[in-house]
Structure 1
């Protein structure tokens, strides 16, 4: 049977919490963060769907991220329904292998979702090597001198780097063999670092193909910066600043919406949408930074489809316009001016909503509140004012 006629399934391992990349508890998991306007997981999946020899792609996700995955809107007849992963990577891969059992693919490739820039060439090389071996993985020779240390402070030995390589994914195997090896490994009192190690432990013949320096794993914040530069063609970026201002009066009601959070109150804000004065100001700030007018241009109040609409829709749209330019939102700052209701108890939730909507860390979002010292219409509790600023990075065009 020729290699092209073999059925080849791919497991995309995306079940981790993805917390290491950020410093804030509200950090978007790294597999769902945007890189050059596209979620990391979407890029990883598409890389394999673009390869003509791949017959099935199975995402293994964290069940707590199910809604995030569904919101990716991925669609392809070769893309299988995502399944939930296990407590660690090894358990997640086994769950994926078990789920592929009824399909009985000839070969399986196992790939980390956090490597979104894997090339078609690397994928093809791994598949080709499986014609003669039980397993294959891409790897890069080490260029730095490697020191061994027992305590992390004193050098105990210098390794021969000529015998060492840095492993990447996808790692490919004959399906039946790696499934059997993983099932046996469950009973071993140790956690294997990757699937190739399990294959080696099981006595399978594993070979290496040349890896790719751009097939690196997104782990730390600087990795995302590097990936952004690569995917945008290393264009020179420039920072732009936008500001926004909005005001809404009170009318009879029982709650107000501020920064996407519903706050019970003796009145509500008057407006065509949900009247979230703070998100309106922030949306205008982002639109202003990229020269795209104001919120009324994109969502006219005369259009009845926006009556009562959640203002997070407007904010997300502004974020998407930045992404289409190949840019990113660096940070945003919202100031709410009101005598009441009290904002402080809700500030953390507000930052979380904004961060979620924009796809950025909550550490890049500030929400502040002040009163008007009982002066003017704000002091008379007739309405609320919000001011916002946003900084974005976009490719320089002049």
Structure 2
């Protein structure tokens, strides 16, 4: 006898997973750029809040203790979609895909401790924020409308502040850059296949890179001294200014997400998610910082970036969700994040993670539901390096957790 998995009864279990399938740490990845809200039936809307608390401690190259540098980080995600008819669907998604928040405290080589310095006591810190708004149009085709192509424009904003302090950065101690907010555009495209009678859905989604050109205000107090300390080359001595305001180009990376789910029995759902982001191609290259680095012949002619990564990121997440009653479902998942290389920038010294998560969803009414979940992460050990490649810190045995809450509405 053929078993039919009623998709409506499994919807509760499906959504229970999404509150805990959040948060990534390689490079600047944060939201995972989830698009599964667009695959829900009928009219659907959701609002998701995510809170990340990581404990990242270590030692600098002098053996000094580095207290927790990871600042608490939170963000929102919103999604709404509707079916125009049995062929076309439209949706709008908002998320905060990339970000960073790190702040060194205590007494270590990432704090300016020169008593005669005007920056005495100041610490190394970084903050990066992005926002994305995605419009999606989908068209179903096939004998049973089992295939769907979808795509649309993406508007993205980016802003960043970086402050380098302490002897770990050598002559770059005191360097600061403030990167102004910029909005630019990219696109999304994908293909999905569904078989509702067994709650099967497979979707492959591509997001383009987005090129930003904005203003970077830089301060490099020792730039003039660096320029004056080397012999003339290429027709004259280096003459670096201590301040500059000019254009900077930042390209946020492309990405590929693969989402899969299938019913195991009429009340149980299995899911898998794979994500790839080429962080190995990403760099932040402020012009003054880059030019000053060429004072060292070893870094000519291209100079150094302020932030870059060596490896691409892979994320794999597997989950199960179980419908316990008409109103309640629970879920669990395990995950692995490859990280973006080791050694890695001292502004984010983590090499991926392993994770385990739990979640639950409760249908308050026929249309409204609330979900909540948590994820515990074991971070990979990493050595922190400055742009020159010098190892300046070591971080081991760190962990963190993610909490998520969601309210959703669905009318089929």
Q: Same fold (TM over 0.5)?
A: no
TM-score category of the 2 structures, normalised to the smaller one: under 0.3
Larger radius of gyration: 1
Which has the larger helix fraction?
1
Structure whose residues are more often strand by fraction: 2
